[in-house]
Amino acid sequence: DGGITQSPKYLFRKEGQNVTLSCEQNLNHDAMYWYRQDPGQGLRLIYYSQIVNDFQKGDIAEGYSVSREKKESFPLTVTSAQKNPTAFYLCASSYKGVNYGYTFGSGTRLTVV
């Protein structure tokens, strides 16, 4: 079955360490997205990519980095520059444009101690 996979489900890191969250999709979707979710704040867009080797900053890109070397993969690195990295991170994918909506992964909960 096609879908979008985020790993790991839970991640713990020490303050000051970079950490990379994985997102893979086999839906042949063109676009991929990273969102951060904090209680009461809804979904905030971190980065998105419409095609391979191209990506754009979202509303809260500071302290994060991404790459899009393959259509299927869109990893997110949370760097030590991110002041409050503890959050729930959601990856999504879609065909180009919003016509079909987004398909979401099951999320990664990152805790930095």
Partner 1 sequence: AQSVTQPDIHITVSEGASLELRCNYSYGATPYLFWYVQSPGQGLQLLLKYFSGDTLVQGIKGFEAEFKRSQSSFNLRKPSVHWSDAAEYFCAVGAKGSQGNLIFGKGTKLSVKP
Residues that bind partner 1 (CB under 8 A): 6, 33, 40-43, 45, 48, 50, 88, 90, 92, 96-99, 101-107, 109
CA distance 34 to 89: 7
The Cα–Cα gap between 24 and 93 comes to 9
Distance of closest approach, residue 77 Cβ to partner 1, in angstroms: 20
Retrieve residue 95's tokens: 């065909």
Distance in Å, CB of 64 to partner 1, minimum: 16
- Min CB(68)–partner 1 separation in Å: 15
Of 79 and 86, CB closest to partner 1: 86
Q: Which is nearer to partner 1, 75 or 95 (CB)?
A: 95
Closer by beta carbon to partner 1, 43 or else 73: 43
Per the CB < 8 A criterion, the answer to whether 57 and 47 are in contact is yes
| Size of the chain in residues | 113
Closer of 19 and 23 to partner 1 (Cβ): 23
Question: Using alpha carbons only, what angle is made at residue 3 by residues 61 and 42, rounded to the nearest 5 degrees?
Answer: 40
Least separation in angstroms between residue 101's CB and partner 1 is 5
Q: What is the dihedral of CA 40, 60, 101, 75, to 10 degrees?
A: -110
